[in-house]
Amino acid sequence: MAIKIFFPSACSAAENGLLIGRWMAQHKSAVVLATLHFPFIPGNVRSYLSQMERKTGLSLSVIGTWSHSKKDKDEKMDNFLGELGSIFSHQPWLRMARESSSKFWDCKVERMEGEESEDVVLVYYDQRKLMLSELHSASEYSEIAAVFDTVAKHQPLFAKDKYDEGPVNLTHWQSDGVEASIIVELCKQASVPLCAVISFFVSLITSICNLRVLSGKPLSFLWSKMSTCEQLGRRLENLRLISSSEKAQDHTTFMRKANTFLSLFLDVTLGILLMSWLYQGNHIGQLADALIPVADRIALELQELLQWLMGAPAGLKMNRALDEVLGRFFMYHIHLWISYIRLMSPFIEVILWYIGLSACLGLTVALSILSDIIALLTFHIYCFYVYGARLYCFKMHGLSSLWRLFRGKKWNVLRQRVDSCSYDLDQLFLGTLLFTILLFLLPTTALYYLVFTLLRLLVIMVQGVIQMTINLLSSLPFFALLQRLCRSYRLAAGVKFRMLEQQQGKPLRLLMQINPLPYGQVLDTYRLPSSRCYPKDSWGSLCKKLFIGEVIYPWKQKEEKQD
């Protein structure tokens, strides 16, 4: 196995000196982190390195010498560098030399334990990118992960530039001046009091929400049904996460915080844009004027649908008397609904005006309010659906048990099976009479049920689309996507090597480049948890529920999940 030397490309133009880095014996590779220049005192260098070791927790030592001859070979210098090896006792000892006349570098490995001299592979790497990037999907003990880790952990080593006074003089990627931004520093300073204020308000609101009056039985039931309340709760949770004063422990927590912050920021920006559009040019009034006719129109369409059902819809054989009764019942309901809307109409604009203010809390809040408004405006459809489903369910259950009676069987509850049973004559007569009546009335009920179920599914679908938009907005990792787009090296999936030159007897030179993480994986890794869960029903069980007439609720799944 060849010895690999990871060499920072920033140091290739450095003056003569010593190589500082880390030797990884299990991978047979050396990571060069910086070059040390004359003049230095060996004792000072050792104490500086041990101080660094204490800070980072990783071993750091002088692992060899570096000579960069500008014009021609300097015998004196070579000898001097050779003697330095006896001062610093490191095994193995690297001797690297670069000549300006040749593209190939000399690299010798001395004092290697028990083995012959081996091939050497030189790998150039970009120290800045390696330090900032986060390697994904690598096992803990892989060589590349160890290299990334070593470079990332020696950040304090790079904090000094050549203008700083100190016992040692180093060359690395930041040696010409430390990178920093005034804006970032100012933001960091300003965020501390801001976070304190926000967290105070968050705790205040949380304590109000936890009051016994608000979490009592009837109100808590109401809260759990409205998606707005859920969205507000989520918003509070996000704020608490962002404004916490603790420093992010690891990369995952940091990314989560950053993603949450950015998505919140984007959300609120979009919400404020929406609000400014709404309040400019009296859009609220237009909306209110449009809403009432729409609700009226829906009611009218429903009325026409009912009238069609009360006739002979699609030539189906319906029971005329039952058809009329059901139709009149639903008509009366629509009549009630219309009068309710008429009663509401003067106040709609005011209500909308106040609701519009909530858009400043974010687009998702506005969307969930829209979803709730849709649920309220289609309440009659929901009622129809429930009546139809209950009636149909009753019929189906009656028919199934009377069909058992018809065959002379019964359902044994204790054994969970169908047993044969001998019935009395009057039981038989009554059962069969009811069975016949229910059987002939079934098509009528089933048709009403079918039509109202389709309407209900339509409403659920609209609400589902809104919910999906909300989920998308609140779970997309915007920060990670932005990083992937602009600084693709920050999220690394692995590395690739490009061969520079190769010649017999000289070390192979490779350039290490970072493979960015694919977008799909970015989404998978950094997706924010969305509180609202989708209905977990499979299509089959949904169809079965629809067939036997069980009432389906979009929010039912959540309660079952908690059990």
DSSP string of 43-81? HHHHHHHHHHHHHHSS--EEEEEEEEESSS--HHHHHHH
55 belongs to the binding site for other proteins (CB under 8 A): no
Instruction: Return phi, psi of residue 402, to 5°.
Output: -70, -30
Residue 452 contacts residue 429 (beta carbons within 8 Å)? no
Candidate list 270, 430, 462, 523; residue touching other proteins; CB under 8 A: 430
Closer CB to other proteins, 312 or 533, in the complex: 312
Closer CB to other proteins, 399 or 552, in the complex: 399
Beta carbon of residue 433, minimum distance to other proteins (angstroms, whole number): 6
Closer CB to other proteins, 102 or 427, in the complex: 427
Which segment (138-146, 331-339, 378-386, 433-441) binds other proteins by CB under 8 A? Answer: 433-441
Which segment (195-203, 280-288, 343-351, 419-427) binds other proteins by CB under 8 A? Answer: 419-427
Closer CB to other proteins, 54 or 317, in the complex: 317
Q: Is 505 exposed, middle or buried (0-12, 13-18, 19+ CB in 10 A)?
A: exposed
Candidate list 437, 461, 465, 472; residue touching other proteins; CB under 8 A: 437
Beta carbon of residue 315, minimum distance to other proteins (angstroms, whole number): 10
Closer CB to other proteins, 72 or 424, in the complex: 424
Token pair for residue 380? 């009659």
Interaction pattern, residues 460-499, with other proteins; x per rule: CB under 8 A: ----------------------------------------
Site for other proteins in 307-366 (CB under 8 A): 312, 317-321
Which segment (49-57, 247-255, 333-341, 434-442) binds other proteins by CB under 8 A? Answer: 434-442
Beta carbon of residue 313, minimum distance to other proteins (angstroms, whole number): 12
Q: Please name which of 38, 39, 30 lies closest in space to residue 61, comparing C-alpha atoms.
A: 30
Hey, what amino acid is at 188? Answer: K
State the Cα–Cα distance between residues 170 and 38, nearest whole angstrom.
Answer: 9
State the Cα–Cα distance between residues 230 and 439, nearest whole angstrom.
Answer: 45
Closer CB to other proteins, 319 or 488, in the complex: 319
How many chain residues touch other proteins (CB under 8 A)?
26
Interaction pattern, residues 379-418, with other proteins; x per rule: CB under 8 A: --------------------------xxxx----------
Beta carbon of residue 447, minimum distance to other proteins (angstroms, whole number): 12
Closer CB to other proteins, 318 or 370, in the complex: 318
Beta carbon of residue 333, minimum distance to other proteins (angstroms, whole number): 24
Beta carbon of residue 543, minimum distance to other proteins (angstroms, whole number): 18
Residue positions counted in the chain: 563
Residue 242 contacts residue 260 (beta carbons within 8 Å)? yes
Q: Please name which of 247, 275, 260 lies closest in space to residue 188, comparing C-alpha atoms.
A: 247
E strands, 152-301, in order? 170-171
Candidate list 13, 425, 486, 499; residue touching other proteins; CB under 8 A: 425
156-159 contacts, C-beta under 8 A, 24 or more apart = 156/52, 156/55, 156/56, 157/20, 157/33, 157/34, 157/52, 157/56, 157/60, 158/34, 158/127, 158/131
The SS3 of residue 133 is: coil
State the Cα–Cα distance between residues 30 and 276, nearest whole angstrom.
Answer: 59
- Which residues of the shown chain bind other proteins in the complex (CB under 8 A)? 312, 317-321, 405-408, 422-426, 428-433, 435-437, 440-441
